[in-house]
Amino acid sequence: MSASTPMSPPPNVATIPLPPGMTLDQYLSLEGQAVTIAITTAVAFGVIVWDYFVLLPDELALYTNKDAKLLRAPTTVFFILLRYSGLLATLPSLFFTSVQSGHCQVAVVLSQVGACLAVGSSGALFAFRVYAMWYGSKAITALVIFVYALMISCWIAVATQYNASTGPPTPFGSNCVMHPIARWAPISYGSSVLFDTTIVLLTLAKLPRKLTHKSTVGRQIFQDTLMYFAITTLTNIVVLSIQSLGEAHAMLKPTAVPFSTVMTVTMGSRVYLNLKLLHQRSVKRGGGGEKLPLSISSTERSRASTNPSESFNMPRIDARQHPHSVVYSPPSTYGAPHGSMAPQNCCPYADQKVRNAANPSKLRQGLVPDDV
pLDDT digits (tens, 9 = 90+) for 38-82: 888 999 999 999 999 999 988 888 888 777 787 888 989 999 999
Confidence bin at 179 (pLDDT 50/70/90):
confident
Instruction: State what percent of residues in the chain have pLDDT above 90.
Output: 33
pTM tops 0.95, yes or no? no
CATH of the domain spanning 28-291: 1.20.1070
pLDDT for residue 118 is more than 50: yes
Give pLDDT, residue 247: 77
CB 368 within 8 A of CB 311: no
CB 135 within 8 A of CB 291: yes
Question: Which of 265, 252, 250, 245 has the alpha carbon at shortest distance from 47?
Answer: 265
Q: Mean pLDDT lowest for which of 87-96, 183-192, 314-323?
A: 314-323
Q: Which residues contact 70 (CB under 8 A, 6 or more apart)?
A: 62, 76, 276, 279, 294, 295
Q: Taking the CA atoms of 359, 365, 367 and 369 in sequence, report the sign of the dihedral they define.
A: positive
CB 264 within 8 A of CB 232: yes
**Domains of the chain by residue range:** 28-291
Q: Mean pLDDT lowest for which of 46-55, 218-227, 263-272?
A: 218-227
